[in-house]
Amino acid sequence: KEEGMENAVIVTFKAIPAVPPGYNYLSVISRVRVVYRYTEEDDDLHCLSLIIKSELTDENIKHMIVDDVVFGEVKFYGNFLPEVKRLTDFSYVPKSFKPPDIAKVVLE
């Protein structure tokens, strides 16, 4: 959860593939556009564009993937880059969100 977004209400969202099938071997990359309000009473609509990278849904392929490969990227975006940003006070990569499912990467 993002600070200040605890009461946000999603009005609509649209998800489309960000790359053709097979272009990203061990994951699915989606481009997601979310339209939301900060609260139920808010009249203003806000928009957020995200890239979501998630694991494959094919169970046979998922068993072949080593956890370190999948979680290496999650750790990179979720732990390493925020620490670099804190130390340098400079943002040179997309903003990363912590998703409820640890096997996903969510970028603005």
18 near 32, Cβ under 8 Å?
no
34 near 13, Cβ under 8 Å?
yes
Q: Distance (Å, rounded) from C-alpha 17 to C-alpha 40?
A: 30
Q: How confident is the model at residue 101 (pLDDT cuts 50, 70, 90)?
A: low
Q: Distance (Å, rounded) from C-alpha 94 to C-alpha 39?
A: 25
Summarised one tens digit per residue, pLDDT across range 17-37 is 999 877 776 778 899 999 999
| Token couple for 44 | 């203003």
Per DSSP, the three-state class of 4 is: coil
44 burial type by CB count under 10 A (0-12 exposed, 13-18 middle, 19+ buried): exposed
Summarised one tens digit per residue, pLDDT across range 35-89 is 999 999 999 999 999 988 877 766 655 555 545 555 677 777 777 877 887 888 7
